[in-house]
Amino acid sequence: MLNFSTTDLVVFAGWIIFMMGFGLWISRGKQDTTQDYFLASKSLPWWAVGGSLIASNISAEQFIGMSGSGYVVGLAIASYELMAAATLIIVAKYFLPIFLKKGIYTMPQFLEERFDSRVRTGLAIFWVLLFVFVNITSVLYLGGLALQSIMGIPLLAGVIGLAIFASTFSIFGGLKAVVWTDVVQVAVLILGGLMASVLVLNAMGGSVMGGLAMLVERAPEKFDMILDKAHTEYINLPGISVLIGGMWIANLYYWGNNQYIIQRALAAKSLNEAQNGTVFAAFLKVLLPLIVVIPGIAAFVLQADISKPDEAYPWVLSNYVTTGFKGLAFAALIAAVGSSLSSMVNSASTIFTLDIYRPFLMKKSPGPDNSILSGGQEKHLVLVGRISAAASLLLGIVVAPLLGNLDQAFQYIQEYTGFISPGVVAVFLLGLFWKRTSANAALAAVVLAIPLSAGFKFLAPQIPFLDRMGICFLLIAAVMVVISLMENKADDRKAIEIEPGLFKTSQTFNLAAIAICGILAVIYAVFW
């Protein structure tokens, strides 16, 4: 348990109180329409988009879960962060122009416009269940574990406290409150996270570079980016597949088709702002391994006295972060939990309200076009959004403590998200870029995704889950191609029309993309 000084307690408590107050203050703004509540009135500048993307992405699953995997695996686990940077460039250039042109609010809404309501509803249900029972619960659990390990707070009490903290800027203020609190929190998140890494490296080697050199010298096996088959963790990170295989499916799903990520870009002022914000987030992703992986490797080299890998990061905080900085570092961890929770809750609420409640449970508007809502109906949907946000947090509180027998929570999240991601990626890629893709083909992909992935997991457990995701994607895509060819002799009537110049990007974006790719090439060349 971490021994907090009075200064640390003041810093930590002050941050929590400030963020809750700030979130409630932001929430006072106008939230009369679904665009206000779910898309922040489409007013976000690039730096808010990029900052919110990273704050939403980084959570206890990175600080606690990825440091735990760093303790076990080493730098190879950073491929999730590094390959995400490359994926963000692709998403910004080829996905966002189409999504923003359509003027959509949710990913299921796009699927109805491209295919039909069956595909929309099927994936909407899957996504709500995934957000609540995998994403929200795992973040609550890992955050509660951190509070228990560092402050001695009982797990359930910590989970409830985190839910209350996140609720102040996820229920009342909608996406606007979530994003603007993200922007504030991402600065503390990066500063506090870097502080923990810098201090443990300084303690080991006298400087950051000296500490890194000592880690490489004393644990060279932890700095292999590409694992060979003899490695005990090959089942989780199967060699070259992280570069050319299933890792792309995981990342394309998360960054390109995932509501709580894409929702930030949908709320941008313009396509250019959305793309610049996304490439800004890619730069920050390259920095993240230093924050979330290095502490785990340091704990391994220092022979940390821990009972499970996910205790590596709290151990570093307890032993190497000095008085005055412990409060800041721990505030960064709680900031990460709060921002991710609020993002997941807001997006689960968005999909439930707009893709399940509105088409099936809400009384239809009178008149020839029931898609046009009155002011009262708009306010009603905002109310439903707030109620469903609160309900998702309550369910997370109930389920989170049940995850206590997990060893590496980060791998759990990746694997079970991988049950749906191959089908989703196949639906989006073919739906976006192959005009003959039919609605029945997309529906088949939705229906096949989970049973096919589960079949591979239980009948062929020796196949690494990233490879399984790649195989499932290829099989599902093949089924979609066959069905589409049988049904459509020409382009589908709802096919996406790609206009000339649609994928043209600014010089700023292009230069940033080249720089990021260069950095990634150097990292993999050095630590291959």
pLDDT per position as a tens digit, 406-445: 555 555 666 677 788 899 999 999 999 999 999 999 999 9
**Region 192-217: what's the mean pLDDT?**
87
Q: What is the pLDDT of residue 485?
A: 95
Q: What is the pLDDT of residue 366?
A: 46
Percentage above 70 pLDDT, the chain:
94
pLDDT at 216 over 60: yes
pLDDT at 480 over 80: yes
Tell me if 341 sits within 8 A of 136, measured CB to CB: yes
> Tokens in use for 472?
């499932």
Question: What's the fold here for domain 33-363+372-400+408-417+498-526?
Answer: Sodium/glucose cotransporter (1.20.1730)
Tell me if 438 sits within 8 A of 492, measured CB to CB: yes
Helix (H, G, I), strand (E, B) or coil at 268: strand
- Give the domain ranges of the chain: 33-363+372-400+408-417+498-526
pLDDT at 377 over 50: yes
Side-chain-side CA neighbours of 405 within 13 Å: the count stands at 1
Q: What is the pLDDT of residue 427?
A: 95
Tell me if 250 sits within 8 A of 417, measured CB to CB: yes
**149 compared with 392, residue with greater pLDDT:** 392
| Lowest mean pLDDT segment, chosen from 108-117, 286-295, 296-305, 373-382 | 373-382
Beta bridge partners of 268: 44
Give one DSSP letter per residue of 99-165, joined into a string: HHHHT-SSHHHHHHHHS-HHHHHHHHHHHHHHIIIIIIHHHHHHHHHHHHHHH---HHHHHHHHHHH
**314 compared with 209, residue with greater pLDDT:** 209
Return the number of other C-beta atoms located less than 10 Å from residue 497's C-beta: 9
Residue identified by tokens 């996820």 is: 170
> Tokens in use for 479?
């089924």
Instruction: Write the pLDDT tens digit of every residue in 91-149.
Output: 999 999 999 998 888 899 999 999 999 999 988 998 898 888 888 888 888 788 778 87
Q: What is the pLDDT of residue 374?
A: 62
Q: What is the pLDDT of residue 88?
A: 95
What confidence tier does 29 reach under pLDDT thresholds 50, 70, 90?
A: low
B/e letters for 27-37, b = 16+ CB within 10 Å, e = fewer, are beeebebbbbb
**Region 336-356: what's the mean pLDDT?**
86
Q: What is the pLDDT of residue 367?
A: 41
Q: What is the pLDDT of residue 406?
A: 58
* Measured distance CA(77)–CA(50) in Å, rounded: 23
* Measured distance CA(282)–CA(196) in Å, rounded: 22
How many residues are given for the chain?
Answer: 528
Cα angle 43-353-107, degrees, rounded to a multiple of 5: 65
Residue 119, CA distances (Å) to 332, 417, 442, 478 in order: 39, 19, 7, 18
What confidence tier does 31 reach under pLDDT thresholds 50, 70, 90?
A: low
Q: What is the pLDDT of residue 411?
A: 59
> Tokens in use for 477?
């895509």
Q: What is the pLDDT of residue 89?
A: 95
pLDDT at 180 over 90: no
* Measured distance CA(89)–CA(107) in Å, rounded: 19
User: Among residues 491, 448, 113, 46, which one has the least CA distance to residue 267?
Assistant: 46
pLDDT at 357 over 70: yes
pLDDT at 404 over 80: no
Long-range contact list for 10-16, CB < 8 A, 24+ apart? 10/327, 11/324, 11/327, 11/328, 11/331, 12/326, 12/327, 12/328, 12/330, 12/331, 12/334, 15/188, 15/327, 15/328, 15/331, 15/334, 15/335, 16/165, 16/331, 16/334
> Tokens in use for 199?
């201090």
Instruction: Write the pLDDT tens digit of every residue in 363-374.
Output: 665 443 445 556
Q: What is the pLDDT of residue 321?
A: 78
Return the number of other C-beta atoms located less than 10 Å from residue 223's C-beta: 16
Helix (H, G, I), strand (E, B) or coil at 463: coil
Tell me if 299 sits within 8 A of 163, measured CB to CB: no
**Region 365-391: what's the mean pLDDT?**
72
User: Among residues 177, 495, 100, which one has the least CA distance to residue 338?
Assistant: 177
Number of alpha helices (DSSP H) and beta strands (DSSP E) in the chain = 27, 0
pLDDT at 281 over 80: yes
Averaged confidence pLDDT in the chain:
85
What confidence tier does 45 reach under pLDDT thresholds 50, 70, 90?
A: very high
Task: For 268, list phi and psi in degrees, rounded to 5.
Answer: -70, 160
What confidence tier does 392 reach under pLDDT thresholds 50, 70, 90?
A: very high
* Measured distance CA(521)–CA(233) in Å, rounded: 23
Beta bridge partners of 44: 268
Tell me if 388 sits within 8 A of 349, measured CB to CB: yes
pTM: 0.86
Which range of 114-118, 225-229, 472-476 scores highest in mean pLDDT? It is: 472-476
Percentage above 90 pLDDT, the chain:
30
**Region 205-219: what's the mean pLDDT?**
88
Tell me if 60 sits within 8 A of 406, measured CB to CB: no
User: What is the 8-class DSSP label of residue 273?
Assistant: H
Q: What is the pLDDT of residue 474?
A: 95
Q: What is the pLDDT of residue 518?
A: 95
